[in-house]
Each structure stands twice: as C-alpha cells, then as structure tokens.
Amino acid sequence: MSLPGISDSDAAGSVLDLVREDLRAFAGYASARRASVTGAVWLNANESPWRSPADDGLGVNRYPEPQPAALRQALAALYGVGPEQLLIGRGSDEAIDLLVRALCRPGRDAVLIAPPVFGMYAVSARLQGAPLIELALTEDATGFRCDLEAVAERAINDGAKLVFLCSPANPTGQALTTQDIVALAARLQGHALLVVDEAYAEYSSEPSVAGLVGTIGNLAVLRTLSKAHALAAARIGVVIAAPELIAVLRNCQAPYPVPTPCVELALAALRPEALALTRERIASTVTERERVGDALSGLAGVRRVYRSQANFLLVRFDDAQWAFDVLLAAGVVVRDMRGYAALGDALRISIGTPEENDAVLAALGGM
C-alpha cells in the first residue's frame, strides 16, 4: 500500500534501526506467566494458593497475563489494528516512558516536543537523560498551530529519535490532519519515530491514524480508555506501532503491567452496549463543548476561547486568578495553565455534564 508523501521503499524501512542497539535483542524478564506452559496445579510463581478474603471471584491471588489476550483482541478491534501491533500498559504515561527508554541513549538521542503540551513527554525525557528539543506552537487568528516543516528540520538537524505530537493537542485543542502526519513521518523516516498521542481522538472530527502503522514504519500512536471510555482510574492505555517495535517495548515493560480488576473493567467497557452508551456521551460532550465555548466567548472578561477538538476548552481571561478563584468558590475546579509557556492568562476547563457546565457559566456570568 502506498500513501501520499511516503514511498514503498520508505515504508519498508525497519523501525528497529531507531531502537537503542543494546535493546534490539534484549529479552527482558522471563516472568512465570510468559512461559508457554499449562497445568491444573500452579506452583511456578510463588503465589498464594488461597484466594484473598477480599477477592470477589477475580482470582487475584494469581499473577495476571502480561498482555491479556481477550483485552488485546478487543482493543485491536476498537482501534482497527492487529493485536500484534498493540501493547497494553498503565495509561499512556507508561507507553511514553517505554518509548523514551527504548529509543533514546542518555545524553545523546533527543526528544522533540511542541509546547505548550502535555507535560509527561518532557518528564520522561528528563528521567532518561535525553536532550529535550522544544519547538513552540505558533498562534494566529485560527488558534494554535504546529510548524511541521520546522519540526522535521529541527528533529533531523538536532538528532531527535522521538517526536511527540498530541492530536487533538492538550491543552490547546487543535488536531492534525492525516495528510500532515503522513508527510511528517515521511520526512522523519530513518531519523526519528513520530509518536501521535490520540488521547482525545474520540472527540475529534479528524480520523485516527492508528490504521497507518502497518504502512508507516516510523509511526506510533497512543490511545487510552481514560477519557471517552470513563476509565481514568483503571489506567488502561496502549501504544500502537510496528510489531517489531511492540516486541521490543514489551521486553522493556514490567512483568505484570495490567491488574486483573482493571482488565475486567476494560472488557466490560468494550462490550457493544457499553460502547453504544460511550458514543452517546461523546456526542453529548461535543455538543456541550460548542455550547459552553459560545457562551464563554460572550462573557465580559474573557479574552479568547480556543476552538477545540477535545473534551476541554482553553480560555484566556483578563484576570485568570479572579476567574480561578470565582470558580473554586462555586465548587468548580479547573486547571490553571498559567505555568505553561505562552499561557500566562489561561485556564483549561473540562467539559462536564450539562449541569456542571451550567455551574461554570453561572459562576463566571458576573464578569
């Protein structure tokens, strides 16, 4: 399969060339559950043979499957990829950390980000000792924009192994097009892995690019059940990438990353009836996002409300401290963004239920 902006020869390149050489054949820890053995009496993992008094039939006295087959199949079906292209982990945070550790040699291989953006990319780079390249978003009348040509040039010239882009972006809300992502991946071929964080993809009008990982070897996609699927506390996230990269990441991962209760919650959330309800809630959130955005734009003291493809709105105020305090006094907690680059007057407001959103508007109505 060929795509605009990427040739068949590019697509055929091995992503393993980007992985740290010392980890390409790294076998990782051979846990008891990774051994291909079966039996009726399990005495190979030093577990308790008795169930916990707190166990509600889940069998949590036994270690879980490292990559639960049923959940892996369900998530692969949800995202339109093969199970071999997907690794389950503890939210997107673990996937970010694994990618940085697997690809970046401390002090040598850089990570490129486009701030203001989700902070865990920089945190993982810092913990690994990977140099951090920051190429700030630009702002115009349409909102924030990422200069992808500049991203490619800086990544290649400054030795980036990883380029993290968030689409829809947190906290700025804009989304990238498939054409732009394909073109950037082509520019970065042989130099860097392009990681597109799609944590908020369900709320966006732009399609996911997860299905392209089979064609674009240097593309990885992050997805999560934390947002649209209402499982933030269960910590279920995935990285979708070429099977050979997934194999490397799995060998770098902790032995038992996904707790059994979390697996059961995720499987329940992926049943047809649950997915139908999730789709309804996504539609409601998008409708509310537009309603709240329009209402906020009409309030005195609001400088700008950015158009968003996610489940939140970034809002600039004449007096952000006043707005934050007024909301807090009304019992509404929002995210203070003033510590982020270029957002010294901004708050990020998640879209809640209609009643919760009305509480936001009522609190700010006197501005």
In a domain, 5, yes or no: no
Q: What per-residue string of b and e applies to 147-160 under the rule 16 or more CB within 10 Å gives b?
A: ebeebbebbeeeeb
- Asked whether residue 202 falls in the same domain as residue 246, the answer is yes
3-state secondary structure the chain: CCECCECHHHHCCCHHHHCCHHHCCCCCCCCHHHCCCCCCCCCCCCCCCCCCCCCCCCCCCCCCCCCCHHHHHHHHHHHCCCHHHEEEEEHHHHHHHHHHHHHCCCCCCEEEECCCCCCHHHHHHHHHCCCEEECCCEEECCEEECCHHHHHHHHHHCCEEEEEEECCCCCCCCCCCHHHHHHHHHHHCCCCEEEEECCCHHHCCCCCCHHHCCCCCCEEEEEECCCCCCCHHHCEEEEECCHHHHHHHHHHCCCCCCCHHHHHHHHHHCCHHHHHHHHHHHHHHHHHHHHHHHHHHCCCCEEEECCCCCCEEEEEECCHHHHHHHHHHCCCCCEECCCCCCCCCEEEEECCCHHHHHHHHHHHCCC
- Asked whether residue 304 falls in the same domain as residue 214, the answer is no
- Asked whether residue 182 falls in the same domain as residue 76, the answer is yes
Banded model confidence at residue 54, pLDDT cuts 50, 70, 90: very high
Residues listed for the chain: 367
pLDDT value at 40 more than 50 = yes
- Asked whether residue 232 falls in the same domain as residue 279, the answer is no
* Whole-number average pLDDT of the chain: 94
Domain limit, last residue, from 270, 297, 321: 270
In a domain, 70, yes or no: yes
- Asked whether residue 289 falls in the same domain as residue 265, the answer is no
- Residue 4 pLDDT: 43
- Residue 34 pLDDT: 80
Domain limit, last residue, from 227, 244, 270: 270
Q: Quick one: average pLDDT of 248-257? A: 95
- Model confidence over 220-231: pLDDT tens digits? 999 999 999 999
* Cα–Cα distance for residue pair 83/86, rounded to 1 Å: 5
Under 8 Å between Cβ of 85 and 99: no
In a domain, 255, yes or no: yes
- Cβ partners under 8 Å of residue 50, min gap 6: 61
Q: What does pTM read for this prediction? A: 0.93
- Residue 152 pLDDT: 98
* Cα–Cα distance for residue pair 155/110, rounded to 1 Å: 8
- Asked whether residue 30 falls in the same domain as residue 118, the answer is yes
Q: Quick one: average pLDDT of 19-35? A: 88
CATH at residue 334? 3.90.1150.10
**Tally of domains in the chain:** 2
- Asked whether residue 56 falls in the same domain as residue 97, the answer is yes
Give the structural domain span for 300. 273-364
- Asked whether residue 94 falls in the same domain as residue 108, the answer is yes
CATH at residue 179? 3.40.640.10
- Residue 356 pLDDT: 97
Q: Say which residue, 170 or 55, is predicted with more confidence.
A: 170
- Asked whether residue 111 falls in the same domain as residue 198, the answer is yes
- Asked whether residue 230 falls in the same domain as residue 321, the answer is no
- Residue 13 pLDDT: 61
Range with the poorest average pLDDT among 8-17, 91-100, 167-176, 251-260: 8-17
- Asked whether residue 142 falls in the same domain as residue 226, the answer is yes
- Model confidence over 128-168: pLDDT tens digits? 999 999 999 999 999 999 999 999 999 999 999 999 999 99
Domain limit, last residue, from 270, 305, 320: 270
- Model confidence over 158-179: pLDDT tens digits? 999 999 999 999 999 999 999 9
In a domain, 3, yes or no: no
In a domain, 23, yes or no: yes
In a domain, 24, yes or no: yes
Q: Quick one: average pLDDT of 88-109? A: 97
- Residue 36 pLDDT: 76
- Asked whether residue 277 falls in the same domain as residue 247, the answer is no
- Residue 366 pLDDT: 53
- Residue 2 pLDDT: 38
Q: Quick one: average pLDDT of 3-9? A: 42
In a domain, 7, yes or no: no
Under 8 Å between Cβ of 163 and 114: no
In a domain, 6, yes or no: no
Under 8 Å between Cβ of 367 and 302: yes
The token pair that represents 255 in the structure block: 């032995």
